[in-house]
Amino acid sequence: MLDKKMTLGQLRAKKGVEKITAITAYDALMAHIFDGEVDILLVGDSLNMSFGGNNDTLNLTTEEMIYHTKAVCRAVKHSFLIADMPFGSYITTKEALKNARKFYKHTRADAIKLEVGIEKYALIKALCDEGFAVMAHIGLKPQFMRFDGGFKIKGKQEAQCNELIECALAMQEAGAFGILIEGVTKQTGHAITQAIKIPTIGIGAGVDCDGQILVWSDAFGFFDTFQPKFVRRYCDGKSMLKEAIRAYAKDVKSCAFPSDRESY
C-alpha cells in the first residue's frame, strides 16, 4: 500500500529495479478501493466497452472522459493517475493541445495517454514541450480496431517488431515518460523494454515489460463478453454480484427485508 502520492520520478526510477503495477478505474467507488494498492490508475477509454456497452472505444467523447477522470480524481490520493485521450481528440497537434489542456484544466490527472505511431512524433513532442506528462500507447491500439479489422496482435514478424522499437525510441525522444505496450508477442515486449530508458507497461505484452496493467472489470470477472488470452481473473465478480442481487430480490419478495432493525 502506498503511503504517499506516487510521483513521475519514482515511476521512472522503477525501471529495471521493481515492477510497476497498474489497473484501470472509471469511477470514484472503484478508484477508492484501488487507490494506493497499485502504482498507477488509468482512466482508460476501455470504459466505453465494459461500462458503456459499446463494441469499441471509438464513440467516446472528451467530455465523457473528463467526467470519468474527475470522478476518479476525487477518490485518488496515492496512485499516479493517467487519463486516456479518446479517439478523434488528437488528430492534429492543435486539437491535441486544446483537448489535453481540457484534461489539465478540468481534472487533476497526473498524465495523459495517447495511442500513437511514429507519425505522431511531432504531436507528442509538442504536448511534452508544453508541459504535459505523456504516456505513449503502442502495439495493438484499440482506437485503430476498425482500421485493423479487429483487435490484432502485433510484432509477430521481425519487421513489425523493429518498427515498434523505432516508434518507442521516437516517443522517448519526443519526451514521453513511459510506453504502454498492448497486444504484442513476449519477445517484442522484451525487445522494446530493453531498447528504451523509460518504463514500459504491458498488457498482453509478456512478463518482461517494466510493469503490467489490466482492465479492472476483466481482472475481477465482471466483464465476460469475451476473455482475451492475457487476462488473469483474480475473482469472479459477476457470480458474486449475481448471487447478491438474487438474495436481495428474494428477501424483498418474501418480506425478509427490511427487518425491524432496518426500519425506523
Which of 132, 143, 118 lies closest to 48 in space, CA to CA? 143
By the 8 A CB rule, do 43 and 26 touch?
yes
Segment interacting with ligand KIV, rule: CB under 6 A, options 13-21, 43-51, 147-155, 247-255: 43-51
Identity of the residue, 84 or 110, whose beta carbon is nearer to ligand KIV in the bound complex: 84
Catalytic annotation present for 182: yes
Annotated binding site for Mg(2+): 45, 84, 115
Identity of the residue, 39 or 45, whose beta carbon is nearer to ligand KIV in the bound complex: 45
- Regarding 50 and contact with ligand KIV (CB under 6 A), the answer is no
**x/- letters, 2..31, toward ligand KIV (CB under 6 A):** ----------------------x-------
Identity of the residue, 170 or 181, whose beta carbon is nearer to ligand KIV in the bound complex: 181
C-alpha dihedral, 238 to 58 to 204 to 83, nearest 10°: -90
Segment interacting with ligand KIV, rule: CB under 6 A, options 39-47, 64-72, 118-126, 234-242: 39-47
- Regarding 45 and contact with ligand KIV (CB under 6 A), the answer is yes
Segment interacting with ligand KIV, rule: CB under 6 A, options 40-48, 98-106, 122-130, 234-242: 40-48
- Regarding 210 and contact with ligand KIV (CB under 6 A), the answer is no
At position 59, the amino acid (one-letter code) is N
At position 82, the amino acid (one-letter code) is I
- Regarding 203 and contact with ligand KIV (CB under 6 A), the answer is yes
- Which residue is associated with the grid cell 500513437? 116
- Which residue is associated with the grid cell 520520478? 9
- CB atoms closer than 10 angstroms to residue 124: 26
How far is it between the farthest Cα atoms of the chain? 70
Angle at 62 between CA 60 and CA 66, to 5 degrees: 110
Question: Which one is catalytic: 163, 182, 243, 262?
Answer: 182
DSSP symbols for 176-228? -SEEEEESB-HHHHHHHHHH-SS-EEEESS-TTSSEEEE-HHHHTT---S---
- Regarding 46 and contact with ligand KIV (CB under 6 A), the answer is yes
List 136, 191, 215, 219, residue binding ligand KIV (CB under 6 A)? 215
Q: Report how far residue 174's alpha carbon sits from residue 23's, in angstroms, rounded to the nearest whole number.
A: 25
- Regarding 182 and contact with ligand KIV (CB under 6 A), the answer is yes
- Regarding 44 and contact with ligand KIV (CB under 6 A), the answer is yes
Which of 166, 236, 150 lies closest to 244 in space, CA to CA? 236
- Regarding 41 and contact with ligand KIV (CB under 6 A), the answer is no
- Regarding 42 and contact with ligand KIV (CB under 6 A), the answer is yes
At position 232, the amino acid (one-letter code) is R
Segment interacting with ligand KIV, rule: CB under 6 A, options 41-49, 116-124, 147-155, 162-170: 41-49
**Catalytic annotation, residues:** 182
Q: Residues interacting with ligand KIV, by CB under 6 A?
A: 24, 42, 44-46, 84, 137, 182, 203, 213, 215
